[in-house]
A = this chain, B = another copy of it.
Amino acid sequence: MPERALNATAASLLGFLHSGPSSGWDLLATAREVIGPFWSITQSQVYRELAAMERAGLITAQQSGRRDRRPYELTSAGQAAFTVWLAQEPAPEQIRFPLLLTMSFGAHLPPETLAAFVESHRHTHAQRLAEYERTREAMTEAVPAGMGDAYGLATLDFGIRYERAVLEWFEHLPARMTRG
């Protein structure tokens, strides 16, 4: 067994498999919903990591159910690998923000073009914030007093604070950059 360390994407799949067997399709949906705001994942990647983890003995495919869905189940080796991964100090975050790159070179761009980009992004972020806030309400209403999913709430709150910060940044941008 090569035993090379898990990557974060594979590890998150193992994490989701703790709540029971699940197929690639469902794992993708779960990932998009739960960690989507701060961890992007593509469908191809999910199948690739599942195949690799099956080869490594971290998961096993169950009998195909309806429609060829192929639910994978965590093995004890998979559990162990996940636990090891989870206890590693997480690496610093990476942000890749193409709008900022474009803005860095704003001097080479007609002001109205940059302003249009900014406006379009502002709109997207406003929508995302609203969506996160709706999700948060749903989460806290569902479990009025208890601690429900405190960890999910905490990561959602990151998203909310992030989107608010972005929107405030847009609002304080020099007029030239927002109104051409």
Binds B, one of A21-29, A45-53, A106-114: A106-114
CB distance from A13 to the nearest CB of B (A): 11
Task: Select A94's contact among B12, B96, B124, beta carbons within 8 Å.
Answer: B96
Q: Is A145 an interface residue (CB 8 A)?
A: no
Return the CB mask of A61-96 against B: 1 if under 8 Å, else 0. 000000000000000000000110011011111111
Q: Is the interface of A mostly helix, strand, loop or mixed?
A: helix
A95 touches B37 (CB 8 A): yes
B15 touches A104 (CB 8 A): yes
Q: Is A138 an interface residue (CB 8 A)?
A: no
A97 touches B165 (CB 8 A): no
Q: Is A161 an interface residue (CB 8 A)?
A: yes
Q: In the bound complex, what is the Cα–Cα distance between A8 and B97 (angstroms)?
A: 10
Q: In the bound complex, what is the Cα–Cα distance between A34 and B93 (angstroms)?
A: 18
Contacts of A113 in B (CB 8 A): 87
Contacts of A142 in B (CB 8 A): none
B151 touches A104 (CB 8 A): yes
Question: What are 18 A-B contacts with C-beta separation under 8 Å?
Answer: A8-B96, A8-B101, A11-B101, A34-B104, A39-B101, A83-B108, A86-B108, A87-B109, A93-B95, A93-B98, A94-B95, A97-B158, A100-B158, A107-B151, A151-B177, A154-B173, A161-B168, A162-B165
